[in-house]
């Protein structure tokens, strides 16, 4: 969250520089190892897209409220390796409470992602590194949102419903494991139009020391909205997503989407309300389920 950018928060600029340096080093290594061997076999791909969404919801948490978000993305890939940069522009940031808090701009997040995927028969596998550059409205204790780092490990089957397990390991300031199991099914409606339904269910396990001042973000939350100082270790959120890709040309695809995010247990409901943007100041009236959607414009070179 993930998941904001001045590009970064209080600890963000130095962290982002380290992240950018790490990404550059890995990309150089990838290019040195892959390009000479595979240049004749596969050409690099470039995918540029922009999503216009009614809300930004990540891992069950609502990051924006009552505003449209614009999310540009660019991915370069070759032979299973890819590098991506993604951003979030909040057209009308929501400020908890009565006092407008500090924010550098409407540009609230910049993510950098390096990934590698490979298929072994029916088994699809992948690993990804995420760097989240954060800014935007401050959090409940009035400190700037902090940059984060995360690894994702993916394993799926190329069979009916494409069952896939993804394990997200967040480290650095905050530490937790987030397990997401998903299934999906696509149906071709016509030559240029298809429909894809994806459902997922998640489990979250905090790895934080509950005596740490930052642990509240990953602690179990009581029914009255207070921190129990116990590690969260339970089911988290479910999500249902419907997308209808329309292939305008061989290179351009427009995809309307709609999603429904909801808690899978009472602990998840309290956690989502506490950590979503409205819950920062008003737990009792905060939401724990969200319906959101929009349109994604995608161009593949």
* Alpha-carbon span 5 to 18, nearest angstrom: 15
pLDDT score recorded for residue 289? 98
How confident is the model at residue 241, as a pLDDT? 98
Q: What is the pLDDT of residue 216?
A: 86
Q: How far is CA 247 from CA 36, 96, 126, 189, 254, in A?
A: 33, 40, 27, 12, 7
Provide the pLDDT for residue 61. Answer: 96
CA dist 40 and 19 (Å) reads: 31
Q: What is the CATH number of domain 12-300?
A: 2.40.160.40
State how far the alpha carbon of 188 is from the alpha carbons of 183, 220, 244, 246, 298, in Å.
Answer: 17, 43, 10, 10, 19
- Give the mean model confidence (pLDDT) for residues 39-67: 90
- The partner residues of 110 in beta bridges, in order of sequence, read 87, 133
Tens-digit pLDDT profile for residues 188-219: 999 999 999 999 999 999 999 988 878 888 99
pTM beyond 0.75: the answer is yes
Q: Where are the domains of the chain?
A: 12-300
pLDDT score, position 215: 85
Q: Which of 3-7, 88-92, 117-121 has the lowest mean pLDDT?
A: 3-7
pLDDT band, very low/low/confident/very high, at 38 (cuts 50, 70, 90): very low
What 3-state DSSP class applies to 188?
strand
Which of 12-26, 102-116, 124-138 is least confident? Answer: 12-26
pLDDT tens-digit map of 115-168: 999 999 999 999 999 999 987 555 444 455 788 999 999 999 999 999 999 999
Question: In this structure, what token pair is assigned to residue 206?
Answer: 């905090």
In this model, does residue 36 exceed pLDDT 70?
no
Q: What is the pLDDT of residue 97?
A: 60
Over 90: is that where the pLDDT of 52 sits?
Answer: yes
Q: Is the pLDDT of residue 93 over 70?
A: yes
Task: Count the Cβ atoms, other than its own, within 10 Å of residue 236.
Answer: 23
Query: Are the C-beta atoms of 202 and 233 separated by less than 8 Å?
Result: no
Please state, rounded to an integer, the average pLDDT across all residues of the chain: 86
In this predicted structure, the answer to whether residue 293 has a pLDDT above a threshold of 80 is: yes
- pLDDT for residue 33 is more than 70: no
Rounded to an integer, the average pLDDT of 235-249 is 98
């Amino acid at each position: 969250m993930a998941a904001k950018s001045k590009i970064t928060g209080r600890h963000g600029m130095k962290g982002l520089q380290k992240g950018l340096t790490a990404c550059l080093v890995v990309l150089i290594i990838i290019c040195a190892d892959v390009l000479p061997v595979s240049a004749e076999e596969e050409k690099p791909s470039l995918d540029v897209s922009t999503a216009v969404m009614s809300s930004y919801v990540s891992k069950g948490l609502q990051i924006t409220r009552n505003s449209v978000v614009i999310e540009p993305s660019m991915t370069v890939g070759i032979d299973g390796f890819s590098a991506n940069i993604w951003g979030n522009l909040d057209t009308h940031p929501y400020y908890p409470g009565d006092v407008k808090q500090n924010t550098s701009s409407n540009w609230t997040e910049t993510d950098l992602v390096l990934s590698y995927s490979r298929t072994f028969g029916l088994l699809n596998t992948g690993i990804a590194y995420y760097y989240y550059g954060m800014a935007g409205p401050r959090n409940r204790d009035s400190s700037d949102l902090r940059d984060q780092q995360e690894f994702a490990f993916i394993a799926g089957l190329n069979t009916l419903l494409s069952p896939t397990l993804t394990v997200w390991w967040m480290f650095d300031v905050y530490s937790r494991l987030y397990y997401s199991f998903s299934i999906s099914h696509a149906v071709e409606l016509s030559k240029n139009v298809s429909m894809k339904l994806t459902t997922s269910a998640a489990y979250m396990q905090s790895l934080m020391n509950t005596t740490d001042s930052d642990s509240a973000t990953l602690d179990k939350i009581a029914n009255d909205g207070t921190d129990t100082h116990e590690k969260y270790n339970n089911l988290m959120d479910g999500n249902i997503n419907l997308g209808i890709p329309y292939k305008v040309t061989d290179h351009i695809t427009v995809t309307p989407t709609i999603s429904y995010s909801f808690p899978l247990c009472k602990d998840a409901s309290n956690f989502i309300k506490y950590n979503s943007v409205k819950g920062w100041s008003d737990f009792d009236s905060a939401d724990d389920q969200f319906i959101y959607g929009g349109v994604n414009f995608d161009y593949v070179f």
